[in-house]
Structures are given as structure tokens and as C-alpha cells.
Structure 1
Amino acid sequence: MHPVEEPKNLEAVMGLIMHSGNAKSFGMEAVQAAKEGDFEKADQKLEEANEELVNAHHAQTGLLTQEASGEKFEVTLLMVHAQDHLMNAITFLDLVKELIDVHKKVNVRD
């Protein structure tokens, strides 16, 4: 069996994809709430997004720990895809935070 296809590794890789995708979705919901002036909901969605990022990081840390302990495995397209999801989610949420701040400032002026 290919090391990435081992259940624990596949679970970690799929966890990276799933939790990162959830983080991005919650981030988009946060922006939509901010656009509507519902900053309490925006903050709640941003908190949910951050929780998903923490879950994604746990999956990533598990894989890194395995490799650091000598359990080497080949990097596959699926693993690269999973890491890409995580990095995009992190970048996207950084932008979401800035957009929410802008909406808060514009809302105060209205």
C-alpha cells in the first residue's frame, strides 16, 4: 500500500482539505455578514473559520510529526493539493479580516 493511502495518512490529508475548505467557507460567510452590517455574525463566522484552521493544522502537524520521526513517505499530488488548500485558506482569512475591518470603518461613517 502506498504510504499516503494508509488510512491514518489519508485521513490526515483529507482532513487538511476538508477543514481548510470549511475555513474558507466560514470566511466568505463572515465577509457577507460584514457587508450586511452584521458584525457580530461576521466575528462569529471568523471564529468558526479560525477553529477550522486549527483543525487543519492538527492534521498537518500529524503528518509532519510522522515524517520527523523517520516515517518517510512520497509526496503525492493529493498531499500537495491538501497543503495548497491550507495555505490558500490562511491567505484568504488574512484578507477576510482586512475586509471586515474596512466594512466596520465604512459602516461607522454612514
Structure 2
Amino acid sequence: MSETYEIAFQLILAAGDSKSESMNAIKKARAGGFDEANLHVEKAQEALTNAHQIQTDLIQNESRGKSIDINMIVIHAQDHLSMALTTLDSAREMINLYQMIYEIKEK
């Protein structure tokens, strides 16, 4: 496997892990498990940090003259990273909304 594909698949894996953890956080919050939801958010952030580091390395390497071939897999990997970012932001907001709903229900 070429280095380009290896890097792209590492990025897809890290971003996918982040997105999965974010979705798990939303599910836990919906059920009222806010502590568990926040643990999933922490895991999502860790995976997203890993994905972002892979992207940063690509950018720094390119600025040093060591670029990779851009192909559909790399574009797909970048799409996964974008979706992971959006999903984590959405999960954080949804946890807050579910907490407000649960507080209103308790009154």
C-alpha cells in the first residue's frame, strides 16, 4: 500500500472513531446518562485530536516540499474529518439541550 493510502486510512480511522464516540454521546444524553455522554465526548475529542494531527502533519510536510498525491481516498479522508468535527460540535450542543429538557421535566 502506498504511503498516501496509509495516511488517508489512518485519517479515516481516527475521524471515524471520533464520529462514533460523538454519536454514542448523543445516545447516552438522550437516555439521561450525561456523565457517560461526557465521557464519550472526551473520547471523541481525543480521536479528533489524533485525526487533526495527521492532517497537520500533511500540511507541514507539504510546506516543506514533501507533498502526497491527492486522490479520491485523500479527499474522502478529509470529508471524514470535516464530518467528525461537525458531529462533535453537534453532540456537545445536543447534550446541553437534553440536559435542559431533563431539568424542565423534573420541575
If the length of structure 1 is used for normalisation, what is the TM-score?
0.89
* 1:57-76 deviations in Å (ceiling 9; x for gaps): 11111111111101133310
Contact 2:14 2:51 in 1 (8 A): yes
Contact 1:12 1:62 in 2 (8 A): no
For these two proteins, the number of residue pairs brought into alignment is 105
One-letter amino acid matched to 2:98 = H
Contact 2:58 2:67 in 1 (8 A): no
Over the residues paired in the alignment, what is the CA RMSD in angstroms? 1.3
Moved more, 31-40 or 69-78: 69-78
Q: Does 1:5 align with 2:10?
A: no
| Equivalence for 1:19 | 14
Q: Which of 92, 96, 100 does residue 91 from structure 2 map onto? A: 96
Give me the identity figure in percent.
Answer: 35
CA drift of 1:10 comes to 3.1
CA drift of 1:105 comes to 0.3
Give the whole-Å Cα distance in 1 for the aligned partners of 2:27 and 2:98: 10
CA drift of 1:33 comes to 0.5
Which 4+ runs in 1 deviate beyond 3 A?
A: none
Mark the runs of 5 or more structure 1 residues left unpaired by the alignment. Answer: none
Q: Which of 37, 54, 60 does residue 59 from structure 1 map onto? A: 54
Mark the runs of 5 or more structure 2 residues left unpaired by the alignment. Answer: none
Q: Which of 19, 31, 56 does residue 26 from structure 2 map onto? A: 31
Q: Which of 36, 44, 52 does residue 41 from structure 1 map onto? A: 36
